[in-house]
Amino acid sequence: MIKILAFETSCDDTSVAVVNSDYSVLSNIVSSQLKHAEFGGVVPELASRLHLKNIMQVTKLAMDQAKVQFSDINAIAVSVNPGLIGSLLVGVSFAKSLAYSIKRPLIAVNHMLGHLYSNKIDHPELEPPFLALIVSGGHTELVYFHSKDNFEIIGRTRDDAAGEAFDKTAKLLELGYPGGPIIDKLAKKGNRNFHRFPRALKEKNSFDFSFSGLKTSIRNYLSKQDEKFIKVNLNDIIASLQIAIVESLVSKTIRYAKLNNINKIVVAGGVSANSELRKQMYGEVSKIRGQVYFPSIEYCMDNGAMIGAAAIDKYYRKDFADLELNAFSKKGLRFI
C-alpha cells in the first residue's frame, strides 16, 4: 500500500495527514489557529507565523498517530494554490525540504481539487462525470467534471464566497469566527421563514452566484431594528439568512443538473458541513432521482487528508513536482 504524507497550510489551519492509496486515512491532525477569532477573521501574517511555529509538531503527531516512520512514506503532497501566499509558502517550503531529505517524490495539489477529493475518503468509488459545488470561505464554484482532468466552470461567485457571507454576518452580529458553524447551530433553533432576505441573480440563464447584496440587505435590516428585537429574534434572523444562502446554492445547482440531465452531484468545501445545505440538497436531488455526495463533517473544512487523497492519482501518473516548485495565491480551480 502506498502511503502519502500530506500538508495543508493554505489558510489558518495547519494540517498534516497520512493517507493510504485506497483513500483510508491513517491520521489527520488539524491545528486550528484560534488566535484569529480575536480579530473576527484571519490575519495573514499571523497565520504564516503560526504555521511556521506549529508545522513540525503537527507533523510529528500525524506520523505518531499513523504509526509510521519516514521510511514508510512513498510521497509528500502539499497544497500550493489558491490561498494566503505566506501560509502556502510555509507548507511548500517544509514539504520540499522533507521530500529532498527523505528522497521521496513531491506532489503539488490544488486546494480546491483537494476539497473535491475529500469525498473520495468515504466514497473511493466516486468517479466523474459529475457536477460539483465547491463552497468555502474563499470560493463558490459550480463545476462540471467530464472526467478527472477535463472540467468546465459553470458558475462562480461574482463577489463574496458563500462562506464569507456566513463569516461576515457573524461578524456583524458579533457572534464569533468562523461564522458558518455558529450560524448553523443557532439557525437550528430559529424560524427560517421569519424574514425573506434576497436571493440574488435569479435569472434563468445565469449560474453565477452573488452574496454581497445579501450582506447589504442584512446590514440594512439590522440597522432598522432595535437591540432588543435583534436579541429576542436572533435565531430566527439567522435561520432566515442561512436559508437565503442555501437556496441560492441549491437552486442553481439543481437547475443546471435538470437542464443537462445530470444525476450525480458532489458538494465540497467548508460550507458543505452546513446542515441546512445538506437537508435541502438531499431533498432536491431525490426529486430528480439523483445521487448526492458530501464529505464527512471532519473532512469538510481544510485538512491534510483531502490533499493526500487528491495526490493519489497524481502518484500513479508519476505527476511529480520538481524542487523549484512555488506557491501561488491565484484563485480558482486549476490543475497544476
- Residue span binding ligand KG4 (CB under 6 A) among the ranges 100-108, 263-271, 287-295, 315-323: 263-271
Minimal distance, residue 164 CB to ligand KG4, in Å: 6
Q: Which of residues 165 and 218 has its CB atom nearest to Zn ion in the complex?
A: 165
Minimal distance, residue 29 CB to ligand KG4, in Å: 15
Angle between helices 304-316 and 111-122 (to 10 degrees): 90
From the list ligand KG4, Zn ion, none, partner contacted by residue 84 (C-beta under 5 to 8 A by kind)? none
Counting contacts by CB under 6 A, is residue 86 touching ligand KG4? Answer: no
Kindly tell me the sign of the dihedral angle through the C-alpha atoms of 7, 10, 15, 19. negative
From the list ligand KG4, Zn ion, none, partner contacted by residue 180 (C-beta under 5 to 8 A by kind)? ligand KG4
Q: Which of residues 5 and 307 has its CB atom nearest to Zn ion in the complex?
A: 307
Q: Which of residues 54 and 136 has its CB atom nearest to Zn ion in the complex?
A: 136
Residues 125-164 that bind ligand KG4 (CB under 6 A): 136-138, 163
Residues 93-132 that bind ligand KG4 (CB under 6 A): 115
29 touches 298 (CB < 8 A):
no
Residue from 14, 136, 274, 303 in contact with Zn ion (CB under 5 A): 136
Minimal distance, residue 150 CB to ligand KG4, in Å: 24
Which of 332, 335, 334 is CA-nearest to residue 140?
332
Q: Which of residues 166 and 293 has its CB atom nearest to ligand KG4 in the complex?
A: 166
Beta strands 140-147 and 130-135, pairing class:
antiparallel
